[in-house]
Amino acid sequence: MNQQTLLPNRNIRIALTDDHAVLRKGVGDILNSFDNCEVVMEAENGKELIDKLSRTKSFPDICFLDISMPVMNGYDTLNILKQKWPDIKVIILSMYNEEFSVVNMFKNGAKGYLLKNSNPKEYKKAILKVYNGGMHLSESLPKDWSVDYDLKSALLLPEREIQFLIKCGQNKTYAEIALEWNNSVRTVENLASRIGEKLNIHSRAGFALFAIRTGLVQ
Mind listing the pLDDT tens digit for each residue in 153-202?
666 789 999 999 999 999 999 999 999 999 999 999 999 999 998 888 88
Q: Name the residue ranges covered by the structural domains of the chain.
A: 3-141, 151-213
Q: How far is CA 209 from the centre of its chain?
A: 9
What is the value of pTM for the model shown?
Answer: 0.81
Q: How far is CA 37 from the centre of its chain?
A: 20
Contact between residue 178 and residue 185 where contact means Cβ atoms under 8 Å apart:
yes
Q: Kindly list the distances between the CA atom of residue 115 and the CA atoms of 92, 98, 105, 192, in Å, as whole numbers in the listed order.
A: 8, 11, 13, 28
Q: Specify the pLDDT at position 215.
A: 81
Q: What is the CATH number of domain 151-213?
A: 1.10.10.10
* CA atoms lying within 13 Å on the CB side of residue 199: 36
pLDDT band at 3 (very low <50, low <70, confident <90, very high): very low
pLDDT digits (tens, 9 = 90+) for 12-36: 999 999 999 999 999 999 999 998 8
Q: Specify the pLDDT at position 143.
A: 76
User: Between residues 65 and 102, which one has the greater pLDDT?
Assistant: 65
- CA nearest to 69, candidates 89, 85, 92, 87: 92
Fold type of domain 3-141: Rossmann fold (3.40.50)
Q: Kindly list the distances between the CA atom of residue 57 and the CA atoms of 14, 52, 61, 85, in Å, as whole numbers in the listed order.
A: 14, 10, 13, 12
